[in-house]
Structure 1
Amino acid sequence: MKTILVPLDLTAASEHALLYSNKLAVRWPAEIVLLYCHHGPTPTTEETQVLEQRLRTLAERLRYQQLTRQDGRRIRYHYRVLAGCLHDRAQAEVARHAADLLVMSLEHIDCGQTDVAGNHAAAIIDLVACPVLVVPPGRRPLPSSAVFSADFDKLDTNLLPRLSALAKAFPASLQLVQFYSPLHRPDRMRLKRALEKARPQLTWPDITTHLLEDDDQLEGTSEFCARTQAQLLVVAPTSSALLRRLFDACYTTTRAYHTQIPVLVLRQPQPTTVCCERCARQAEREAIQQAIAVH
């Protein structure tokens, strides 16, 4: 049985993460662990019981409002109430429950503090090993069209089986998209080979590939998703900086398309060294280009 870990802050906005998780749990199938991290003094036994009952009441209300009685009965829920902040608890809870997926709200409140939408999610993604699905406010169906945007030439191929394990949860056509800047036009054949190499390692029945030119991969990805009306974006950022830029205020406040659909983030190992001086220069150029794109 698969396990979905769903952190809730008990606000109305977080309900959308649970609504989406319910659909995934029926489709996959999977059981759901609802986690509430209580900011403030450690709750007493009585307070913990009250909070657990709030989680239970929420789960029961949503599943019978949202799902047929037969589907609703299939989902098995577990409830966890812990003292402290989610960013201090997430890693241990993912390990404790062997979670296959963590689903959280784009506007999740951590440690009792609000932040730019997505910032808390970016912090959690940086901490846990399992894929993280960030769900924006609003009720939405499971996707019929998904986009996987990555630098396939540098992608850790160990991530592909993990993504394939999610194929049954997301019944969608999958478009693999590789962007390159005008400076990398001579590398198009190598990038195309990397893109095509990834394709047979994924188990989606309907996969198409796209090699596209754009100065900015994230801008290009968002525009591509809007043009194709994608309902799910899959990304594999190569650094924490790129991850945080995904949910940057300039995108969340302007309601960029990729902040209006669920985003599934696959965490890649962080590179610690470069193999030669040429690679070091290339990494430096890419960092400069990224900084220019941000500003």
Structure 2
Amino acid sequence: MKTILVPFDFSEQAENAFEFAKGLAKKKAAHLKLLHVLETPTMTSMNTMGTVDAGPEIDQIYVLELVEKRKQQLAEIEAKTNAEGYKFSTKLIFGNPYAGITKEVVDFDANLIVMGSKGSSGIEELLIGSNTEKVVRNAKCPVITIKDQVSTDDIKRIVFASDFNDNSIKLVNKLKTLQSTLGAELFLVKINTPSLFENSRISTKSMEAFIKDHQFENAHFSIYNSGSEEEGIRDYAEDIDADMIAMATHGRTGFLHLLGGSIAEDVVNHAKRPVWTFKVK
């Protein structure tokens, strides 16, 4: 974990993500970069004939003032950030937030993204989704989503939810890095639901093999019955007083995503705890 990217929009959740990322950067002597994407406004209007006319010109003075304000705010963050044992930098770019984050992940060769999440529900969650959800769904590196204030030293118990049928080596290595970095116990859980029921003996063998084959230490496993996978993951994490939830995402997009949804994105939206995700397909 040499590079950590924090998309930053000056919200409370982004501040919480930044503080958490600083703890990780210190533990790993990583390069921590704060990225602010300034979405410049564009204005168009539709006339009564249904064609699009150019709207009023963008207030250039307002845009310039906003740019200067953001530059000053980032400079102040740099000045007061005591980056002991790690490198810290900031960057301001313009354009669409998701596109900007995606490009910076590649340019910066980010090993981890830490970003704030406000969560969403109802029609907004179904049709629009947030930039955080898009990053979780598509990022090629692990993503940690943060809602509330939490320190890396507070993460003592990590729940890893899986069906343990797709044991990607990349996923395993990323998960082991997370566990070792935080010095946490790992709790493997298989959620049994009415529609996806599995015999306890089969689940137990799968989890025992997962721990043994990949030489996990300080790891435990459980089978948890629930009405849905998302509900089961959140309830199990609450029952054992876990500090973080970890899971893989398969990055489904488009119509399939709207029909089937994504358990990882649902957990990110609704869980109170930090959530670590990694796209395996």
TM-score range, shorter chain: 0.7 to 0.9
Aligned to 2:35: 35
Shift of 1:208: 0.6
Letter of the 1:244 counterpart: E
What percentage of aligned pairs have identical amino acids? 20
3-state SS of 2:110 partner? coil
CA shift for structure 1 position 177? 0.6
Aligned to 2:25: 25
Structure 2: 5+ residue runs without aligned partners?
43-59
More divergent stretch after superposition (162-171 vs 14-23): 162-171
Is residue 175 from structure 1 mapped to residue 187 from structure 2 by the alignment? Answer: yes
Cα distance change of structure 1 residues 185 and 45 upon mapping to structure 2, 3 Å threshold: closer
* Alpha-carbon distance change, 99 to 41 in structure 1, aligned in 2, over 3 angstroms: same
Give yes or no for contact 1:235–1:265 (8 Å, CA) kept in 2.
yes
AA aligned opposite 1:30 = A
What does residue 242 of structure 2 align with? Answer: 230
Checking the alignment, whether the CA contact within 8 Å between 1:119 and 1:244 is kept in structure 2 is: no
Distance in 2 of aligned mates of 1:106 and 1:89: 17
Does the CA contact (< 8 Å) of 2:29 and 2:87 recur in 1?
Answer: no
Contact 1:41 1:83 in 2 (8 A): no
Distance between the aligned counterparts of 1:85 and 1:136, measured in 2? 22
Task: Describe the shift of the 1:184–1:76 C-alpha distance in structure 2 as closer, same or farther (beyond 3 A).
Answer: closer
Cα contact 2:268–2:275 (8 A) shared by 1: no
Q: Is the 8 A contact 2:159 2:187 kept in 1?
A: yes
Shift of 1:144: 0.8
Once the two structures are superposed, residues 235-286 of structure 1 have per-residue CA deviations (whole angstroms, 9 ceiling, x without a partner) of 11344522332245xx4xxxxxxx22110011121xxxxxxxxxxxxxxxxx
* Native 8 Å contact 1:144 1:171 kept in 2: yes
Q: Deviations over 1:205-227 (max 9, x none)?
A: 31111123323121111111111
Match of residue 95, structure 2, among 81, 84, 89: 84
Distance 1:264-1:184 versus aligned 2 partners, 3 A rule: closer
Give the equivalent residue in structure 1 for 2:106: 95
* 2:74 equivalent to 1:55: yes
Contact 1:90 1:128 in 2 (8 A): no
Unaligned ranges ≥5, structure 1: 65-71, 109-114, 252-258, 270-295
CA contact (8 A) 1:145 1:173 kept: yes
Equivalent in 262, 266, 282 of residue 278 of structure 2: 266
Partner residue, 1:132 = 143
3-state DSSP class of the match of 1:175?
strand
Distance in 2 between the 1:264 and 1:199 partners? 19
Instruction: Measure, in 1, the Cα distance between the counterparts of 2:237 and 2:105.
Output: 30
For the Cα contact (< 8 Å) 1:167–1:204, is it kept in 2? no
Change (3 A) 1:10 1:187: same
- Give, in angstroms, the shift of residue 181 of structure 1: 2.5
One-letter code aligned to 1:210: S
Separation in 1, partners of 2:69, 2:215: 43
What is residue 232 of structure 2 aligned with on the other side?
Answer: 220
Give 1:126 deviation, angstroms.
Answer: 1.8
CA RMSD, 1 decimal: 3.0
- Larger fraction in strand: 2
Question: 1:27, 1:168 within 8 Å by CA — same for their partners in 2?
Answer: no
Are residues 1:153 and 2:153 paired? no
Q: 2:115 touches 2:146 (CA, 8 Å); kept in 1?
A: yes
What whole-Å deviation, never above 9, does each CA across 1:29-76 have from its counterpart, x for those lacking one?
Answer: 311011010011599899756534422322443x44xxxxxxx42221
TM-score of the two chains, using structure 2 as the length reference = 0.76
SS at match of 1:74: coil
Matched to 1:81, the amino acid is: L
Aligned pairs, how many?
Answer: 247
Q: Which has the greater radius of gyration?
A: 2
CA distance in 1, matches of 2:215, 2:23: 20
In 2, Cα distance between equivalents of 1:197 and 1:74: 38
Q: What TM-score does the superposition give when structure 1 sets the normalisation length? A: 0.73
Distance 1:148 1:157 in 2: 15
